[in-house]
Structure formats: structure tokens, C-alpha cells
């Protein structure tokens, strides 16, 4: 099945090792090496093709243009860097636009989710660049009547979509993925948002990536912290509380979700138990909507 009109590889290079020593190596040894090489190469090709969509351009941009913040708890986007590589970003967005909805939904759910999160984050960067430099907050791109997330500017699946269409209509669509950890992967270009990851999401490892994102966000004391008998947490947990209480991995309460990550929140076992039992009050912190630009 043809997924994209762009014919790219995943950087896979199967080179024959340089030979050393005598050229009269016994045939059995040579045959064994050739057989091993074939099997090794086959396994590598299988691994590389586990996600059929080409995200390497986006992956390269993230590694180049996203930096760790000084406190090591989050990341910042270097939009000057992204602007310098705008041609590469546009080329990546074109590959996403080439994918039909039928082609996407024919893949495993993890592959679909990785595609949609990458699409959301990449088009968010593109939206910022369309108004760069001089932008202080993504919210400045909206108006009283329409937020920037409702702006239809994304050519995808034969339609022109908004960021809200991707996030709420697809990623958060009831019964499709039902994973609350996506809230720590989609990035709204603001300081209060979870970190923009320094690599693209991939279907074969997305569960690990989402887990790392969740733990990293919860470890950040500027976003989540215990103060006395109150647990102060990001407003993400207020806005999307229902997503954390829908039964993901048997969890049906926000306190239950947070207690699962008690260690990340730097809670003791006693404090974690109190949180799960409702003994700690939850307080939702103000959100920092300033642009997540590298200082």
C-alpha cells in the first residue's frame, strides 16, 4: 500500500563489514556470516518499517531546534532555528498532507496516534512561524470570536482542518485511543504546556514516549508540587479531568491517576496513599500562556 508520494528511507544502511585477514576464509564461515548478515538486515528492515510514515524530517528538526530549559524540566523551541529550516518543515507537512484518512486508519492505533500527535505539533510550529518574529503568545493569534486552535489552515485528509479538529476530533475522540497521557505530548507552544519532545513520536515506541512525557511533566515543580496538605497541579488536569477518569488502565479518578505517579510528584508512600484516598486537596495552578521560545 502506498502511504506517501515521498519515497524516503529511515536512515537504514546495511553495509558489508570491511574484511580483514586472509581472503581464503573457509566457505562455511563465509556462508555463516552471509546468513547472519541477511537475518540481521531483515530484522532491521522490519524494525525500520514498523511505522510506515516518514517522520524523519520532523525528527531532525526537533533534535536541531528544541532545547532543554535551564531547569532541565522542560524544553523551549528555537523558532529562529525553525524559521531557518522552514523549507524542511514545509516538506514534512507536505508528506503528512499526502496521506489519506483511509491509509492512516488502516494502520495500527499506535501508528495512527504517533502520526496525529506529530501532525498537531508540527502544524502548531508552522502557525507560530507564520507570525514570527514578534509573537508573545499563541493566544494573540486569536480573536474574541475565534481562538487560534479553531482556525482552519491545515490541509489534511482532503479537508482544511484546525488544530482543534486534530486534537479533540481525532486524538481525543471517544473510543479511539482513550489515553490521557496524550495531554503531555501535544504541545500548544506555551510555557505552561508539557515539553515539546526532542524527537518525533513513533508507533513502535509511543507507549514508552508517552510514559516519559508524563513522568517528566509531573516532576516539574513549576507545574505540579505539594504544598502542605495541598497538591498544586497544572490546569490541564482541570480542563481535561474527564480524560483522566475514563478508566485508562483501570483508573477512574484524577486522584487515582496522580497517585499512580506519586514518585514523579516527589510524594512519599504515605502522601501517595493520602492522595488516592482523597486526603490531599487538589489546587489548579494558573497557566502560563507565554510563548515557549528559547530565550
Taking residues 106-126, what's their average pLDDT?
Answer: 98
Q: Which one, of 150, 144, 232, 135, lies nearest residue 190 by Cα?
A: 135
Which residues fall within 8 angstroms of residue 154, CB to CB, at 6 or more apart? 119, 123, 160, 161, 162, 163, 165, 166
For the chain, percent of residues with pLDDT exceeding 70: 83
Q: CA-to-CA distance for 159 and 156, rounded, in angstroms?
A: 6
21-25, 46-50, 190-194, 208-212: range with lowest mean pLDDT: 21-25
- Residue 163 or 29, more confident: 163
Q: Output the CA–CA distances (angstroms, integers) from residue 112 to 119, 166, 171, 282, in the order listed.
A: 11, 12, 9, 34
Q: Write down the pLDDT at residue 151.
A: 96
My answer on whether omega of the bond before 159 falls inside 30° of 0, hence cis, is: no
- Residue 8 or 60, more confident: 60
Checking if the pLDDT of 255 tops 60, the result is: yes
Checking if the pLDDT of 16 tops 60, the result is: no
Which residues fall within 8 angstroms of residue 88, CB to CB, at 6 or more apart? 57, 60, 61
- pLDDT digit string, tens, across residues 35-91: 333 333 333 333 334 678 989 999 999 999 999 999 999 999 999 999 999 999 999
Q: Write down the pLDDT at residue 281.
A: 95
* N-to-C CA span, the chain: 44
Taking residues 142-168, what's their average pLDDT?
Answer: 95
Q: Write down the pLDDT at residue 50.
A: 65
Band of pLDDT at residue 295, cut at 50, 70 and 90: confident
Q: Write down the pLDDT at residue 33.
A: 36
Q: Write down the pLDDT at residue 51.
A: 79
By the 10 Å C-beta count (0-12 exposed, 13-18 middle, 19+ buried), 20 is classed as: exposed
Amino acid at each position: 500500500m502506498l502511504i506517501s508520494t515521498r519515497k524516503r528511507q529511515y536512515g537504514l544502511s546495511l553495509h558489508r563489514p570491511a574484511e580483514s585477514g586472509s581472503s581464503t576464509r573457509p566457505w562455511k564461515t563465509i556462508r555463516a556470516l552471509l546468513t547472519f548478515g541477511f537475518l540481521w538486515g531483515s530484522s532491521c528492515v522490519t524494525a525500520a518499517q514498523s511505522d510506515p510514515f516518514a517522520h524523519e524530517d520532523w525528527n531532525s528538526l526537533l533534535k536541531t531546534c528544541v532545547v532543554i530549559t535551564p531547569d532541565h524540566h522542560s524544553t523551549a523551541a528555537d523558532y529562529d532555528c525553525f524559521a531557518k529550516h522552514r523549507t524542511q518543515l514545509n516538506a514534512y507537512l507536505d508528506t503528512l498532507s499526502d496521506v489519506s484518512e483511509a491509509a492512516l486508519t488502516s494502520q495500527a492505533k499506535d501508528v495512527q496516534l504517533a502520526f496525529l500527535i506529530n501532525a498537531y505539533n508540527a502544524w502548531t510550529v508552522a502557525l507560530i512561524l507564520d507570525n514570527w518574529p514578534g509573537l508573545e503568545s499563541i493566544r494573540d493569534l486569536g480573536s474574541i470570536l475565534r481562538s487560534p486552535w479553531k482556525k482552519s489552515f491545515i490541509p489534511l485528509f482532503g479537508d482544511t482542518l484546525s488544530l482543534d479538529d486534530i486534537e479533540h476530533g481525532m486524538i481525543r475522540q471517544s473510543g479511539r485511543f482513550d489515553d490521557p497521557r496524550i495531554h503531555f505530548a501535544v504541545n500548544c507552544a506555551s510555557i505552561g504546556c508539557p515539553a515539546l519532545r526532542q524527537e518525533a513520536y513513533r508507533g513502535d515506541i509511543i507507549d514508552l514516549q508517552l510514559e516519559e512525557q508524563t513522568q517528566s511533566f509531573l516532576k516539574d515543580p513549576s507545574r505540579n508540587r505539594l504544598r502542605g496538605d495541598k497538591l498544586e497541579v497544572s490546569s490541564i488536569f482541570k480542563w481535561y479531568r474527564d480524560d483522566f477518569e475514563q478508566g485508562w488502565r483501570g483508573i477512574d479518578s484524577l486522584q487515582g491517576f496522580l497517585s499512580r505517579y506519586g514518585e514523579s510528584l516527589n510524594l512519599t508512600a504515605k502522601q501517595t496513599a493520602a492522595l488516592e484516598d482523597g486526603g490531599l486537596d487538589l489546587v489548579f495552578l494558573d497557566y502560563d500562556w507565554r510563548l515557549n521560545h528559547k530565550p
